[in-house]
Chain A
Amino acid sequence: MRKDEIRPALLMILPACLFIGVVAIFPILNAFRISLDRRMPVFGISYFVGLDNYRFLLQDPRFWQSFLNTAYFSLLSVSLELALGLLLAILLHGSFRGRGLFRAVVLIPWAIPTVVSARMWEWILNPDFGLLNYLLQQIGLLSSPLNWLGDRVLAMHALIMADVWKTSPFVALILLAGLQMIPEELYEAARVDGAGGWQIFRRITFPLLLPFILIAFLFRTLDAFRIFDLVYVLTGGGPANTTETLSLYAYKLLFQTLQFGYGSAVAVATFLTVLLISTVCILLVKRQHHG
C-alpha cells in the first residue's frame, strides 16, 4: 500500500469500526460494567459490588444446573445434527429425479420460525393428543403414551429432538456446498484406481469436507449454546429446572425479576463460554486450512 493511501483507507473502514463498536462492543462492555453492580431499579437499589455477583454465581446451583443443561443440549444436538446433516447432504448431492423439489422440501423446517415450530412440537409431543405417542403406539413401540415434556429425563431429549429436526437441514446446506466444491475428477481418478465407496468417502470426501464440517460445527454450537426460544415455549425450563438453559435463566433474571446486576453476570458468563468455544473452533478451522 502506498503511503498516501493509508489515511483514506483508514477513513473508509472507520464507519464499519464505529458501527461494530456501537452495536457490539459497547453493549458487551456495558453488560460487563453492570455485572459489577447490585442493580434492581424497581427496588431503588443500585450500587457497585465489584466481583460479588460472580462470587455468588460460582456457588449458585441454579447457574450450574443451567450450565450443564446447556452443555448437554449443545453436545448431543450438535452431534446428531452433524451426523444427520452429513447424511442428508450426501443424499441431496446425488443425482435423481425431482432433486430440486427434494432440496427445497428439506429446507422447510429451517425456514419455519422457531417459536412457530415450537408450538407445533408442543402439540406433537402432547401426552394425550400428540401425534408422536399415537404413531409410536400404532407401530407397537409404546404400550402407553409418554409424557414427553413433563418427565425429567424425556423433556431434555424431546427438546433435542425438536432442535435436530429444525437445524439438520441447515447443516446439510453447508455440507452440500462443500460437497459441490470437490472436483469430480478426484472421484473419477479414485474409481479408475479401483477404490470402493467407503474408501472414497474416507480418503476424499471426508478430508475435503472437514473445513465445512468444522464451520457447521462452529455455527451450530454457538447457536445451541444460546438456545432460548424453543425451551421458553416448550417447557419454560421445567420440569424441576431440568431443561433450563443459560439464556433462559438470564432472561428470567433480567426481564422477569429485573435483577440487572446478577442477570448481567450470568449473561457475561454465557458470553465468555461462547467466546471460548468459538476461539477453539476457529483455531481448529485455521489449522485445518494451513496444516
Chain B
Amino acid sequence: MRSRISRLGFGAFFIIVLSILTGCTRDEGIKDIEGGARIVFAHFKVPSPETLSGLIEAFERQNPGVKVIEEILPTSTDQQHQFYVTALEGRSAAFDVFALDVIWIQEFARAGWLLDLTPRLGADRLAGFLPGPVEAATYKDRIYAVPWFANAGILYFRKDLLWKYGFAPPRTFTELSHQARVILEGERDSNLKGFVWQGKQYEGLICVALEFIHGNGGAVLDGRQSALRDKQAVEALQLMHDLIAVDKISPHLVTSADEEATRHLFGAGRAIFMRNWPYALALYEQEDSKVRGRVDIAPLPSFEGYQSAPTLGGWLLGVNRFSTRSDLARKLVEFLTSQSVQKVLAIKLGFPPARHALYHDAELKMANPFIPPLYEAMRRARPRPVTPFYLMISQLLQPELSAAIMGVKPPERALEDASRLIEHILKLERE
C-alpha cells in the first residue's frame, strides 16, 4: 500500500515536471470565425479605453466579418518591451498589430520582427506625417511602422511672472537664465525656483540632455563614431551642470527629479520654468490647480545661433512579421493612423497627432485648445539616436550624464568614457 501511494505521487509529479519542461502548448494562432477573421491588436492601457474600442468597432463595421481583439499590456514601457521581445523571439503570432515606442523600431526592424510597410505606404504616403516619427520608423530606407501619435519636450513658464517683468518667452538658454535671475531677485521668495527639469539617472535624463546637445548643434552618433567628444556636446553638458552648481537657476533637487516630481513642484507654483512633456498642460488648467490660468508653453530654448530641438516621444503602430493576417493587420494600421482617427484621439484622449494638418484643424482647436500650440515643438521634435542599439546606448549614457551634471566627472571625461563604451557597442554591427 505504502509503495503504491508513493508510486502514484511520483507519477503525478512526473507529469507536472514533464509539462513544465515542455512548456505550454504553442498558441494555435488565429482561428477563422464564420465568414471572416479575427486579428489581435496589442497596446498599452489608454486613458479612456471606450474611445479606442469605439473606433475599433467602426473599423469592424467597415470590414464586415472582421473581429479585432484588444490585448492590453502593462503600463510600464520596460515591461511591454520585454513582452514583445519574448513573444517575437519565439516567432509568436499571438498578436497582429502592436503599438511601438519610438525607440524600439530600429531594434525590432533589424531583428526582422516587423513587416516592411514600404510597399503599401511609400514616401509620399507618409508626407502628411511629422518628420521626427517618420525618421524613427525608417530603417535602411524602408518603413516599418506608421506614426500613431507624437510627443515632444516643451517649455512651461509662468506667464504672470514673465509679463510682470516685461519678458517674452526665452528663445535661448542665456535668455532663460537671465530672466530667471531677474525674477528670482525681484520676487525674494525662497520657495521659488528658476528652471526645473528631469535629472534623475533614467531615460528621462537622456531626453533632456539631448535637447541641450541637439540645441547646440551637437549629436550622439556620427555614423559609426560617437559625436559626444565634440565641443557642442561638452558645452551642452557643462551648461546643465552650471545651471545647478554655478548659476543656481536649477535647484539641486533636479538631480533626483523625474517628470512627476517636476510637475508637482511647478504645479505648486514654485518654479518659473519647467521642461516637461505636454501631458501636464491639461492638468494645470483643472479647477483645483494652483497655477490655473498662469501657465503658458513655448518651444524649448536652444543655444545662440541654433534651433530649438525637443526630444521626440510617442508611439507608432507596426505589423507583426509572423502574423498570418498581415493584409488585414495593415488595413487596421492604416485605419488607426488615419487623419480622422488621430483627430478623435487628440480630442478625446489628448494624444498629440502625428500629422501636420490636424494642428490647423478648427474643430480640434475648439474641442481641445491645448493641442494646436504644440505644433512648433512637434514639428521640430528630434528622435533619440536612430539605431538598433539605442537601448544599450541609453543604458550606458545614463550614469555618465548623471555624473557630469552632478559634477562627479568633468563633462569632457564623462563624454569620453561614454564615447568609448558606445563605440564598443557599435562594433557589434560588424561581427
Contact = CB atoms under 8 A, between A and B. Distances in A.
Q: Answer whether A and B are interacting partners.
A: yes
Interface of A: 8, 11-12, 14-15, 18-19, 22, 40-45, 62, 126-129, 147-152, 155, 235-241, 244, 252, 255-259
Contacts of A237: 201, 398-399
Contacts of B398: 237-238
A238 B82 CA distance: 23
Given A238-B200, A240-B406, A44 B256 contact: no
Contacts of B199: 150
Interface size on B, as a range, is 35 or more
B252 A239 contact: no
Contacts of B202: 236, 238
Given A12-B6, A240-B402, A150 B255 contact: yes
B399 A150 contact: no
Contact of B253 (A18, A147, A255): A147
Nearest to A259: B392
A238 B399 contact: yes
Given A40-B428, A150-B256, A240 B107 contact: no
Nearest to B254: A150
Contacts of A155: 256
Given A11-B10, A236-B200, A240-B201, A22 B402 contact: no
Contacts of A15: 9-10, 13
Interface of A is mostly: loop
Contacts of B389: 43
Nearest to B255: A150
A148 B257 CA distance: 11
A238 B201 contact: yes
A11 to B, nearest CB: 5
A104 B268 CA distance: 38
Given A43-B428, A45-B431, A150 B89 contact: no
Given A150-B200, A150-B253, A239-B256, 18 more contacts: A8-B2, A8-B3, A8-B6, A11-B7, A11-B10, A15-B9, A41-B89, A42-B85, A43-B111, A126-B261, A147-B252, A150-B406, A236-B200, A239-B200, A239-B201, A239-B406, A241-B399, A252-B395
Contacts of A19: 13, 17
Contacts of B265: 128
Contacts of A257: 391-392, 395
A150 B257 contact: yes
A15 B9 CA distance: 8
B408 interface: yes
Q: Which of B7, B253, B428 neighbours the largest number of chain A CB atoms within 10 Å of its CB?
A: B253
Contacts of B264: 129
A147 B111 contact: no
B331 interface: no
B270 A150 contact: no
A44 B109 CA distance: 12
10 contacts: A11-B6, A18-B17, A43-B389, A43-B428, A147-B253, A237-B399, A238-B200, A238-B202, A240-B399, A258-B391
A32 B2 CA distance: 40
B222 to A, nearest CB: 21
B256 A147 contact: yes
B20 interface: yes
Interface string B374-396: 00000000000000110110010
Contacts of A151: 252, 255
Contacts of B388: 42-43
Nearest to B253: A127
A42 B108 CA distance: 7
Contacts of A62: 399
Contacts of A235: 200-201, 256
B110 interface: yes
Interface string B10-21: 100100010011
Q: Which of A8, A15, A42 neighbours the largest number of chain B CB atoms within 10 Å of its CB?
A: A42
Contact of A43 (B10, B78, B110, B268): B110
A128 B268 CA distance: 11
B204 to A, nearest CB: 10
A259 B256 CA distance: 27
B17 A22 contact: yes
A13 to B, nearest CB: 10
B354 interface: no
Q: Which of B256, B391, B395, B399 neighbours the largest number of chain A CB atoms within 10 Å of its CB?
A: B256
B395 A45 contact: no
7 closest A-B pairs by beta carbon, nearest first, are: A238-B201, A150-B256, A150-B255, A240-B403, A241-B399, A149-B256, A127-B253
A41 B90 CA distance: 11
A258 B111 CA distance: 13
